[in-house]
């Protein structure tokens, strides 16, 4: 099943990132370029770096100039994340090219890759909540509360595995069909963000 295939790749990416634990470290993707494994690893790496960008920018002592630079990195990262999702959806579209869609087939509220995007984020939540639940310098109360939250995340993981796999099976059987919309990040576009296009005058 695809969820069970993807999740260990996300876990590997997260583990590899934390060897150095630096948002500026290079990506060393171990998979063959162009493969779905490569895409999944790269997607989660982007998510992992952005997770830590968000941690850094919430530092109350951050220099305002550094915060602005980081905010622009987050915006750029969001665009890369969106592009990665579209690449993964292209993979799913290619796989379903010969599927006979049934007349009564329904569309899902999100594409498979956007569901995979949520699974990638969930892998990050589980990793970091497990860190807190096992942190030796934390109080027993803190660890217990984090363990409760971790249990909820693990339950969510199981449900997401089921729902994503069911969605892909429904698409493969023609019971649901994919429709992919190219995402438009308006705040990054000189012609759509009012602040940017007014400054061009």
Supply the pLDDT for residue 73.
94
Residue 200 lies in a domain: no
Using CA atoms, how far apart are residues 165 and 160, in angstroms rounded to an integer? 8
Residue 77 CA to residue 35 CA, distance in Å, equals 21
Dihedral angle over CA of 151, 155, 156, 159, nearest 10: 170
For residues 200 and 90, the model is more confident at: 90
Residue 197 domain-assigned (yes or no): no
pLDDT band with cut points at 50, 70 and 90 for residue 136: very high
pLDDT at 176: 96
Distance (Å, whole) CA 113 – CA 43: 10
Is it the case that residue 60 has pLDDT exceeding 70?
A: yes
Is residue 185 pLDDT above 80, yes or no? Answer: no
Q: Is pLDDT at 183 greater than 70 in this prediction?
A: no
Domain count, the chain: 1
pLDDT tens sequence across 64-106: 999 999 999 999 999 999 999 999 999 999 999 999 999 999 9
Q: Which of 119, 118, 123, 113 is nearest to 168 (CA)?
A: 113
In a domain, 201, yes or no: no
Q: Residue 198: inside a domain, yes or no?
A: no
Taking 90 as the threshold, does the pLDDT of residue 181 lie above it? no
195 domain-assigned: no
Residue at 97 is within a domain: yes
The whole-angstrom separation of Cα 5 and Cα 164 is 12
Residue span of the structural domain in which 125 resides? 2-190
Backbone angles phi and psi of 28, in degrees to 5: -115, 75
CA angle 131, 134, 137 (to 5 degrees): 100
pLDDT > 90: percent of the chain: 86
- pTM for this structure? 0.90
Residues 174-198, mean pLDDT to the nearest whole number: 68
Does some domain include residue 64?
A: yes
Average pLDDT, the chain: 92
Task: Report yes or no on 196 lying in a domain.
Answer: no
Q: What pLDDT was estimated at residue 179?
A: 86
């Amino acid at each position: 099943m695809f969820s069970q295939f993807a999740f260990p790749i996300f876990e590997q990416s997260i583990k590899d990132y934390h060897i150095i634990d630096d948002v500026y470290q290079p990506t060393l993707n171990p998979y063959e370029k162009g493969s779905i494994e490569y895409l999944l690893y790269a997607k989660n790496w982007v998510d992992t770096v952005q997770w830590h960008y968000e941690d850094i920018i919430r530092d109350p002592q951050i220099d305002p100039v550094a915060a602005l630079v980081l905010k622009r990195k987050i915006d750029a990262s969001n665009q890369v994340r969106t592009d990665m999702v579209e690449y993964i959806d292209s993979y799913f579209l290619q796989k379903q090219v010969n599927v006979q869609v049934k007349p009564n087939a329904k569309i899902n509220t999100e594409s498979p890759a956007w569901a995979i995007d949520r699974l990638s984020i969930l892998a990050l939540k589980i990793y970091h909540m497990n860190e807190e639940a096992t942190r030796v310098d934390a109080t027993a109360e803190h660890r217990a509360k984090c363990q409760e939250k971790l249990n909820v995340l693990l339950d969510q993981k199981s449900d997401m595995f089921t729902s994503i796999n069911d969605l892909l099976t429904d698409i493969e059987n023609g019971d649901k069909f994919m429709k992919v919309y190219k995402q438009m990040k308006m705040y990054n576009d000189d012609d759509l963000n009012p602040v940017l296009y007014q400054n061009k005058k």
